């Protein structure tokens, strides 16, 4: 299949691995920022094939994993209210709150529905005008344009029973927070290709310049990832920073201008809490004042809910690259996909779930 088979070619992968071994003379720590990349790395054994002096750590690029616990609890509170329908992507239903998740809420009678697009939630609102329909709008810049479009369309139609519980976050501020951390050991980044397809890579250039690190937008297939790792190692060995695009068939410097425009029309930048990490300044998106009537947090007055994390869960350290999932004392013991303590164990893009599924011990 064009654009798939050639990026899974074992011969090309072996050649790239050989080149990485030749180029890498010093010890380097590289963070892949995307949970989808993490799972591809684990599934294809890339982490085990790299030379020991090239170390991969896993960043906060799983949108489900960084959605704060208070958002889950607010969603649960809204779902329990009479006359409401909560629509969500399927990954969010297993994310643990303090005492239950949205699957459990549905089993108790809440009307919680899985959708594949916010526009599906909008249609549910059209079909159920007598009920309040809330879409759990989470994610990075990849989901923000569609979530913004749903709000804009609801406004155009005068649809008053639709709202969004927004927990949108952005990648560059998270990179800055990681690089500014006293315990940081990340020396280069693989940027998420799908985020860069929307936003382009120009917004990473100031980050690379400020912190003197290489940032390489990467795809998700084995050859994509190995090529991006090679480019990152080459830059590190040469003592160079900057952005080098390794996903040119999808990513451009300017990204998708139309998608960026609709995001900017509906959302504005604000501080945002990240699960396990805390508040990162100017890292989130919230609805602009002209659209705040679609803000479910305000409509249902749930902004005061502020629960506490499990003291056993160390997912915040995992998301910052300070800890491998298997180094957490609760990993595969108190915390499993069946009894998760944090979202990184249940999300299809979570690092802990990847380690559990692919039997990684280190």
Rounded Cα distance, 264 and 281, in Å:
18
| Residue 158 included in any domain | yes
Is residue 193 over pLDDT 60? yes
Is residue 3 over pLDDT 70? no
| Residue 137 included in any domain | yes
pLDDT of residue 346: 82
Q: What are phi and psi of 223, to 5 degrees?
A: -65, -40
Q: Using an 8 Å Cβ cutoff, are 133 and 240 in contact?
A: no
pLDDT of residue 339: 87
pLDDT of residue 122: 98
| Residue 295 included in any domain | yes
Using alpha carbons, select from 170, 136, 134 the residue that is nearest to residue 260.
170
| Residue 230 included in any domain | no
Domain count, the chain: 1
Is residue 47 over pLDDT 90? yes
Using alpha carbons, select from 162, 170, 362, 156 the residue that is nearest to residue 285.
170
pLDDT of residue 348: 79
Token pair recorded at residue 188:
């280069």
Counting every residue written for the chain, the total comes to 362
Using alpha carbons, select from 266, 251, 150 the residue that is nearest to residue 204.
251
Instruction: Find the helix or strand (DSSP H, E) in which 173 lies.
Output: helix 171-180
Is residue 362 over pLDDT 70? no
At residue 361 the predicted structure's pLDDT band, cuts being 50, 70 and 90, is: low
Q: Which residue has the higher pLDDT, 14 or 304?
A: 14
Token pair recorded at residue 150:
């749903």
Q: Mention every residue, 6+ apart, whose C-beta is less than 8 A from residue 20.
A: 50, 51, 54, 226, 229, 230, 233
What's the number of CA atoms in the CB half-sphere (13 Å) around residue 115?
Answer: 24
Which pLDDT tens digit goes with each residue over 57-71? 999 988 888 999 999
At residue 305 the predicted structure's pLDDT band, cuts being 50, 70 and 90, is: confident
pTM, two decimal places: 0.91
| CATH code where residue 97 lies | 3.40.50.11740
Which pLDDT tens digit goes with each residue over 137-181? 999 999 999 999 999 999 999 999 999 999 999 999 999 999 999
267-274 vs 278-287, strand pairing mode: antiparallel
Which pLDDT tens digit goes with each residue over 72-109? 999 999 999 999 999 999 989 988 888 899 999 999 99
Q: What are phi and psi of 268, to 5 degrees?
A: -135, 160
| Residue 105 included in any domain | yes
pLDDT of residue 289: 97
| Residue 245 included in any domain | no
Q: Using an 8 Å Cβ cutoff, are 79 and 112 in contact?
A: yes
Q: Which residue has the higher pLDDT, 98 or 195?
A: 195
Which pLDDT tens digit goes with each residue over 224-268? 999 999 999 999 999 999 999 999 999 999 999 999 999 999 999
Give strand pairing partners of 112: 86
pLDDT of residue 319: 87
Is residue 1 over pLDDT 60? no
Q: What is the mean pLDDT of the chain?
A: 94
Most confident of 59-68, 186-195, 327-336: 186-195
| Residue 329 included in any domain | no
Residue 92's domain comprises 64-169+279-300
At residue 270 the predicted structure's pLDDT band, cuts being 50, 70 and 90, is: very high
Rg of the chain over all Cα atoms, to the nearest angstrom: 20
- State mean pLDDT over 21-40: 96
At residue 2 the predicted structure's pLDDT band, cuts being 50, 70 and 90, is: low
| Residue 91 included in any domain | yes
- DSSP 8-state code for residue 219: -
């Amino acid at each position: 299949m064009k654009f798939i088979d050639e990026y899974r070619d074992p011969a090309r992968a072996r050649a790239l691995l050989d080149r990485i071994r030749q180029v890498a003379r010093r010890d380097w720590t590289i963070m892949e920022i995307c949970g989808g990349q993490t799972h591809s790395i684990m599934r294809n054994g890339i982490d085990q094939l790299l030379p020991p002096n090239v170390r991969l750590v896993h960043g906060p690029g799983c949108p489900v994993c960084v959605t704060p616990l208070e958002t889950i609890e607010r969603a649960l509170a809204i779902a329990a209210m009479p006359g409401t329908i909560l629509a969500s992507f399927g990954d969010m239903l297993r994310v643990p709150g303090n005492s239950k998740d949205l699957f459990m809420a549905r089993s108790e009678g809440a009307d919680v529905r899985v959708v594949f697009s916010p526009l599906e939630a909008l249609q549910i609102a059209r079909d159920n005008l007598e009920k309040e329909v809330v879409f759990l709008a989470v994610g990075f810049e990849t989901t923000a344009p569609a979530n913004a479009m749903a709000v804009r369309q609801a406004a155009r139609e005068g649809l008053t029973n639709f709202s969004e519980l927004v927990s949108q976050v952005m990648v560059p501020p998270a990179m800055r927070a990681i690089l500014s951390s006293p315990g940081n050991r990340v020396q280069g980044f693989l940027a998420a290709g799908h985020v860069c397809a929307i936003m382009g890579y120009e917004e990473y250039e100031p980050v690379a310049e400020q912190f003197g690190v290489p940032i390489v937008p990467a795809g998700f297939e084995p050859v994509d990832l190995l090529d991006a790792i090679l480019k990152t190692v080459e830059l590190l060995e040469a003592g160079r920073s900057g952005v080098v695009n390794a996903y040119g068939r999808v990513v451009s410097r300017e990204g998708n201008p139309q998608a960026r425009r609709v995001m900017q029309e509906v959302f504005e930048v604000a501080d945002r809490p990240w699960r396990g990490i805390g508040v990162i300044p100017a890292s989130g998106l919230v609805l602009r004042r002209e659209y705040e009537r679609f803000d479910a947090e305000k409509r249902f007055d749930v902004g005061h809910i502020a629960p506490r994390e499990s003291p056993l869960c160390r997912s915040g350290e995992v998301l910052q690259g300070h800890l491998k999932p298997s180094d957490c004392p609760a990993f595969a013991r108190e915390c499993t996909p069946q009894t998760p303590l944090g979202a990184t164990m249940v999300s299809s893009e979570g690092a802990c779930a990847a380690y559990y599924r692919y039997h990684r011990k280190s």
